[in-house]
Structure 1
Amino acid sequence: MAVILPAPAKPLVVPERSILSNPRKLLLEQCKTLRELRQIHGHLIKSGLLFHLPFLAENLLESSALLLPNNLAYALKVFAQIPTPRTQSYNILIRAFILHHAPENALLLFGRMITSSVSPDKFTFSCALKACSRLKSLAHGREIHSLVLKSGFDSVDFVINSLIHMYATCGEVGTARALFDEMPVKGVVTWNAMFAGYFKAGDWMDVVSLFREMLETSAEFDQVTLISVLTACGRLGELSLGEWINHYIEENGLKSNLNLVTCLVDMYAKCERIDKARSLFDEMPFKDVVAWSAMISGYTQLNQCKEALELFHRMQMTNVDPNEVTMVSVLSACAVLGALETGKWVHSYIRRKQMQLTVNLGTALMDFYAKCGCIENSVEVFEKMPVKNSWSWTVLIKGLASNGRGREALKFFSAMQETNEQPSDVTFVCVLSACSHAGLIKEGQLFFDSMSQEYGIQPRIEHYGCMVDILGRSGLLNEAYDFIRRMPIEPNAVIWRTLLSSCKIHKNVEFAEESLKELVKLDPEHSGDYILLSSIYASVGRWEDAVIVRNQMKEKGIKKTPGCSLIEMDGMIHEFFAEDSAHPLSKEIYEKIEEMVSKIKLAGYVPNVAEARLDAEEDEKEVSVSHHSEKLAIAFGLIKSQPGSVIRVSKNLRVCTDCHLATKLISKVYQRDIVVRDRNRFHHFRDGDCSCNDYW
């Protein structure tokens, strides 16, 4: 069998005259590969030109270091052959190190240049300062600033811009602003360097103020400026300025700039003009991952999580791969809706693409699993995260507490204390919440006291609320009431509402009435407070008083927040309201409810008609409680899911006592694990028991 060998590459003909006349042009136009570069290099060595004409070595160095891809190693060999490198040679290699993401090598070479008594020029200083910015090395930056002053380059705009950027990137925004203010004439690059500094520091108000100053002085700005300012407008809710920029973009035909339009989408979404954001998004002829992420994030931040997931599913049908920002937003939406299957797909995608489990992504994944009642998965993600911060620990502690594992949450808090991570005030809210759900009164008091004594954290209203909850849930209503009256800060509506909730658990009318009196002063339009007192009256048989409270609501025009339960099936979120008939499978669902109630009655279920609608007739009350939203969702789950699979329901209000008892028995009769997330916590029902131990 004949073997056909490739034709030998033709040697590159290098006329000596062309090398001498325009060596840079020759290297740019004729050198397309390392092989061709080697040929010219060899020719220059043989002819002796390389050692007699320094500019030839510099041109060769530029071609290998900057023009031909992935040939930095060869450039280093070329540099090593130059007997006495000039400033230009050092500049080329320093710039190459920065382009190849090796800023530490750039600074080392700069140091070698100084010790070799080679004078840096403005380009050297600019590149060296850029390396300091990449490394966030303020110490090196200050040393270079000193050399700039000694070398007389402190009046060169090119260098000053790099200094401003370096100081701002390293967190010295004040120093950057001082340099900025000293400049007599500022070009758009200088302004943008200052904007970038404020941007990196998150000083959004200063970004907006600087732009207003720019407008007042009629200074020229560009699209880079507008991107910084639009981002700041979104963070601050500065809608009027954002709309002015939108008008400017339209007037000047800049809508073809994808980054600008994406920033407009983000700005409008963060300013709660989500319809305008969506309109701009839909008009975009091409959408990259940043645009998709901005729109999905906008929906998530406004708690329009169903819309966020619908848009994410649309994104999946395109050829655009999601990034970390997309994933964090989608996981947040899944967490709110309890969309376990979609969130699991996201986790699977993260593993398939081998995405790094950063603090932000890992913590979002933990939070998602915890809020879907899969606390074991949340712990597993936590343990796999290579880096954890205080917020990661806090999310885990909160997740364990809300899933009925308060004691385990406190063990993780002890583990956190053994690390260098300092608990925040939010961490202590979660710790106290764990004590509340687990009925740990003494422990709760100790943690409350340790906040200020050991960590110097002054309790906020949320911490006082947790203590009221700890005492109230435990039945210590007198102590809880006295604690409120002794608080050094004025109790708010949440404090009194917490006491009122405890009164419902323990059917205490006296403190319930006192709580509502205070709540009417602080938050007179909150329907839930009236509903709670009405339910307490009903629970002790005071039906007339319960009706009076409901009538007061009607007279004041206060409408009850309807109970709503969500359940995910096959990637779709299904929504149910009490006595709802809007679902396509309503007939089957109500038939299933009749079957459920019949079966659990045989297991000892007695409907608690105190939880029925007050306007229901006596013979309708039992039917009324059987049609609560979570029962509809559970019935749908039994119809649509496989036998033995877990049913997961999310509810916007607190689970009532009747639904709690019924769900315990449903889990036993149908041999199903049922997870219900209500406004306060998770209930894991299994074989007739609940993880809250009836303490919620």
Structure 2
Amino acid sequence: MQLSHHPLFRLLHHHCKSIHHLKSIHARATVQGLASLHPSAILTKLLYTLTLLLLPPFNQSASLPPPSTAAFFAYALALFQRIPCPSTFPHNLLIRVHILLSSPLHALLLFARMRRSAVPPDFHTFPFALKACTHLRFPALGRALHSQALKFGLAADPYVRNTLISAYASCHLIRDAQILFDEHPSSCDVVAYNTLMDGYVKAGDIPFACKLFDEMPQRDVISWGTLLAGYSQIGQFEEAIALFDRMLAVGMRPDDVALVSALSCCAQLGKLDRGQAIHDYIKKNRAKLNVYLSTGLVDMYAKCGCISIAAEIFESTPWKNLCTWNAIIVGLAMHGNSELSLEYFNRMRSAGVWPDGVTFLGVLVACSHAGLVEMAQSLFDEMENIYSVKRELKHYGCLADLLGRAGLIKEAMEMIEGMPMRGDRYVWGGVLAGCRLHGNVAIAEIAAEQLLELSPADSGIYSIMADIYATARRWEDVARIRKLMAEMGVKKNVACSSIEVDDATNKFVLDQAGEDLQSELGSS
């Protein structure tokens, strides 16, 4: 019997669904003597099967718990070290395991060891090594791997070339990626186009990404999803939804990227009906939700104010990642459900999920809505001291707003003085709003001065200061502010509201006559 036809090989191929199953088959092979008679073949097959367990759909299965990274890595290394004189294929497998387990440095160290051992790389080795380079964002190393691929005559291989384009684009060397693409444009397949287009999207050059999209001889679902994500990334939500509609019209079945991007755009625009239509499409065309679609739906319903539906989808999701927790925590905080938002945050910590900057922004907003100053300050301290989450300007801005609302203007100023970076308009805006609420003219003047340096044409700053001076009955300063506005040519921000009727968004603008009427009504 050929070894490939052995029952244990069939078990590996058809019935191995977890690392526990794999170890059981390994034990049986050892007991039966196969591991001793054919160590290279058996151990390499076990290592190959282990890599498959790290790939979708196994690592997204709703019926299995998330795999232990440490367990996978330790077992993979043990298998590799027991292979006598491992060839190129086992090296490729272990490099790939390192990539899948987010250990790019170890993947590159293994590549270097492979070269020192005179094991020749093939057209699979370089893409795996280049992906490690992409994760590390190390351009010089990418160029070194490019030269190695040229040396071995593998740079012209489509798989290697496409990964090189991706590596250059991911390292923000989009011109190098374009040059590589232009060397053989006639032989560039849809993957090459998609890779370069994704590079331009990540660089924020959506117009050129659109140009590539239009030039493509053929498009697949990734082409549509990449451009859709690009529109969403730069805030062109209407354009993204229109592209999604085009995608459906040509009969292209959207993947998770396209669906989640479209749901995100609906969330940003508050288009609940459109988001529900996408949800209906998912229910009709998907047997079950995965964690990415569940997260997108939770985010959309929460931001559109349908908290009960968002919570229902959240609770029905078996395995929740950090983004899923963030979606419900932030969504609840945005709509003033502070107590419930903080409850989910505590559940998240109890589940062993480590929070990130988005999580803390959500809970700080929740504390701000509820006026929970002490809790907010405690969570703010825990960010770096316990969770090693770097504080960003948006976190400082949220705390400044909370302290300002609570009348703790002095404490807000002390926080700003201790910041490792200069305050932005959100930080100083929070202080100014607090000064307006509590009548602190002196610090309001400091905050306004900082804000005017950042946004000298923002009429809102002048208006707030005029209001603060008027409340303090400092009429000369009110007149001075209005004169300064006129001299600077600053015009009042035009009031605007919108309402969606029959899938059309109608905007209403308050013109100067309306402002004058509103002023008259306010003074009568």
CA contact (8 A) 1:527 1:559 kept: yes
Q: CA RMSD in A?
A: 3.5
Q: 1:519 aligns with which of 448, 451, 458?
A: 451
| Residue 285 to residue 523, structure 1, CA distance change in 2 (3 Å) | same
Length, aligned pairs only:
490
Q: Structure 1 residues 563, 215: CA separation in 2 closer, same or farther (over 3 Å shift)?
A: farther
Q: Percent identity at matched positions?
A: 30
Structure 2: 5+ residue runs without aligned partners?
Answer: 55-71
Paired with 2:420 and 2:450, the residues of 1 have a C-alpha distance of: 15
In the superposition, relative to structure 1, how do residues 88 and 381 fare at CA in structure 2: closer, same or farther (>3 Å)? closer
SS in structure 1 at match of 2:500: strand
> Do the aligned residues in 2 keep the contact of 1:103 with 1:131 (CA within 8 Å)?
no
Partner of 1:214: 145
Amino acid in structure 1 at the alignment position of 2:256:
E
Instruction: Say which of 245, 269, 276 aligns to 1:344.
Output: 276
Residue 192 of structure 1 contacts residue 224 of structure 1 at CA under 8 Å; is this kept in 2? yes
Whether 1:142 and 2:77 are equivalent positions in the alignment is: yes
- Aligned position for 2:48: 130
Secondary structure, aligned partner of 1:573: strand
Could you tell me which of 176, 181, 187 is aligned with 1:254? 187
The one of 9, 21, 24 equivalent to 1:94 is 9
1:622 aligns to 2:517 (yes or no): yes
Q: Is the 8 A contact 1:125 1:144 kept in 2?
A: yes
- Aligned match for 2:176, one of 219, 237, 241: 241
Cα offset for 1:473? 1.6
1:345 deviates by 0.9
- Give the Cα separation in 2 of the matches to 1:106 and 1:388: 25
Distance 1:477 1:458 in 2: 24
Offset of residue 525 of structure 1: 6.5
What's the offset of the Cα at 1:375?
A: 2.7
1:291-370 alignment runs, 5 A limit:
291-370=223-302
Match of 1:596 in 2: none
The higher radius of gyration belongs to 1
518 and 232 in structure 1: CA distance in 2 versus 1, 3 angstrom threshold? same
- Residue 439 of structure 1 contacts residue 470 of structure 1 at CA under 8 Å; is this kept in 2? yes
- Deviation per CA, 1:231-279: give whole Å up to 9, x if none: 34444433212221331241xx123x22221222222222222122112
Deviations 1:267-304 (A, max 9, x none): 22222221221122123343322111111111101111
Secondary structure of 1:203 counterpart: helix
In structure 2, C-alpha distance between the alignment counterparts of 1:317 and 1:417, rounded to whole Å: 43
Q: In the alignment, residue 194 of structure 1 is paired with which amino acid?
A: A
1:117 corresponds to which residue?
33
Does 1:501 find its partner at 2:428? Answer: no
Matched residue, 2:108: 177
In structure 1, the partner of 2:423 is 492
Alignment of 1:502-651 (within 5 A): 502-506=434-438, 508-521=440-453, 529-530=461-462, 532-534=464-466, 536=468, 543-551=478-486, 553-554=488-489, 564-579=496-511, 621-622=516-517
Deviation of residue 126 (structure 1)? 3.8
Aligned to 1:278: 210
Q: Cα gap change, 1:242/1:368 in structure 2, threshold over 3 Å: closer, same or farther?
A: same
Alignment partner, residue 376 of structure 1:
308
Give the C-alpha shift of residue 543 in structure 1.
4.8
Q: Distance in 2 between matches of 1:527 and 1:229?
A: 49
C-alpha change, 1:254 and 1:362, in structure 2 (3 Å) is same
Contact 2:77 2:94 in 1 (8 A): no
**Pairing of 1:445-460 with structure 2 (within 5 A):** 445-449=377-381, 451=383, 460=392
Structure 1 segments of 4 or more deviating over 6 A? 538-541, 558-561
- Which residue identity lines up with residue 145 of structure 2 in the other structure? M
CA distance in 1, matches of 2:318, 2:459: 46
**Taking structure 1 as reference, are residues 171 and 569 closer, same or farther at Cα in structure 2, changes over 3 Å only?**
same
> 1:273 and 1:490 mapped to 2: Cα distance?
28
Structure 2: distance between partners of 1:129 and 1:333: 41
What is the distance in 2 between the residues matched to 1:242 and 1:258?
15
Q: Could you tell me how far apart the structure 2 residues matched to 1:465 and 1:212 are?
A: 41
- How far apart in 1 are the matches of 2:338 and 2:128? 49
Query: 1:333 Cα deviation (Å)?
Result: 1.0
Please show how residues 103-114 of structure 1 align to structure 2 within 5 Å.
Answer: 108-109=24-25, 111-114=27-30
2:165 corresponds to which of 230, 248, 268: 230
- Give how far 1:396 is off: 2.1
- The SS at the match of 1:567 is strand
In the aligned structure 2, how far is the partner of 1:454 from the partner of 1:179?
34
Rate the CA distance shift 1:568–1:267 in 2: closer, same or farther, 3 A: farther
1:469 counterpart = 2:364: no
Q: Structure 2 length normalisation: TM-score?
A: 0.80
Q: In proportion to residue count, which structure has more helix?
A: 2
Quote the residue 1:480 is aligned against: 412
1:569 to partner: Cα distance:
2.8
Tell me the equivalent position of 1:165: 96
| 1:552-593 superposed Cα distances (whole Å, 9 cap, x missing partner) | 543xxx7876655443333333445443xxxxxxxxxxxxxx
- Provide the C-alpha distance between the structure 2 equivalents of 1:622 and 1:180, rounded to a whole number of angstroms: 74
Alpha-carbon distance, 1:310 to partner: 0.7
Hey, what's the Cα distance between the residues in 2 that align with 1:434 and 1:353?
36
Equivalence map 1:655-670=2 (5 Å): none
Which moves more between the two structures, 466-475 or 336-345?
Answer: 466-475
Q: Residues 444 and 88 from structure 1, CA distance in 2 versus in 1: closer, same or farther, beyond 3 angstroms?
A: closer
d(CA) in 2 for partners of 1:450, 1:175:
31
**Are the counterparts in 2 of residues 367 and 399 from structure 1 also a CA contact under 8 Å?**
yes
In 1, distance between residues paired with 2:245 and 2:22? 45
Partner of 2:318: 386
Corresponding residue of 1:43? none
Do the aligned partners of 2:485 and 2:491 also contact (CA within 8 Å) in 1? no
Structure 2 vs 1, CA of residues 366 and 511 (structure 1 numbering), >3 Å: closer, same or farther? same
CA contact (8 A) 2:299 2:328 kept: yes
**Post-superposition shift, 1:384?**
2.1
Distance (Å, rounded) in 2 between the aligned partners of 1:158 and 1:450: 46
CA distance in 1, matches of 2:294, 2:252: 22
What secondary structure sits across from 2:252 in the alignment? Answer: coil
Q: Distance in 1 between matches of 2:494 and 2:194?
A: 37
Paired residue type of 1:332:
S
| Distance in 2 separating the partners of 1:407 and 1:483 | 26
Give the secondary-structure state (helix, strand or coil) at the position aligned to 1:188.
coil
